Chains A and B, each alone.
Chain A
Amino acid sequence: NAGVTQTPKFQVLKTGQSMTLQCAQDMNHEYMSWYRQDPGMGLRLIHYSVGAGITDQGEVPNGYNVSRSTTEDFPLRLLSAAPSQTSVYFCASSELQGKSPLHFGNGTRLTVT
């Protein structure tokens, strides 16, 4: 099993550009989530999904969209990138929401200039 796979590993965007961060898991987990990690801020929840076709907002959802058309994939979209979105983004999945360990990908380091 590959676990949680994130692509790309690194990305540089100009302000106003759009992009999609990809996330895929092969563990048949129903729950998936996106976090961002900034220095001194820990991991903050952006969006999450409890199953295909269901998504909801986390702590810091503004500027990001998600969709969950399959159990395996949970892409994160930045429609118009801003410098404040410079961060490291982690996708994670688990069997159950809030009751089992999250499995994390290795992250995407995004810089917006």
Chain B
Amino acid sequence: GESVGLHLPTLSVQEGDNSIINCAYSNSASDYFIWYKQESGKGPQFIIDIRSNMDKRQGQRVTVLLNKTVKHLSLQIAATQPGDSAVYFCAENKGGSQGNLIFGKGTKLSVKP
């Protein structure tokens, strides 16, 4: 069985609705942020990234918003599908441009058909 999702914040949405997953980051010197999706039994998969000189970036059905004032990052998924069910992680390059990617604890997204 998959134990990654235990004790994680969970977001439950209806298929077709929009999902918003939030993340607070800690270091004002971080200048690169990234979202990953992890399905059961697999490695994290890159979704979208954003640099600190941007506030918003859009991909296919996903949008990342960066609010540097309150050190907040969000991932919006439009028209959520059952295949979007997974654990989502945000990461920051803590310490700035030579920093390693440090990950948050994750949010489990559950999509109800």
Contacts and interface: CB of A to CB of B under 8 A. Distances in A.
B6 A40 contact: yes
Interface residues of A, number: 27
A61 interface: no
A105 B106 CA distance: 18
Interface residues of B, number: 30
B100 to A, nearest CB: 6
B100 A48 contact: yes
B77 to A, nearest CB: 18
B3 A97 contact: no
Nearest to B102: A45
Nearest to A99: B32
A101 B49 contact: yes
Nearest to B5: A39
Interface of A: 4, 33, 35, 37, 39-45, 48, 58-59, 88, 90, 92, 97-99, 101-107
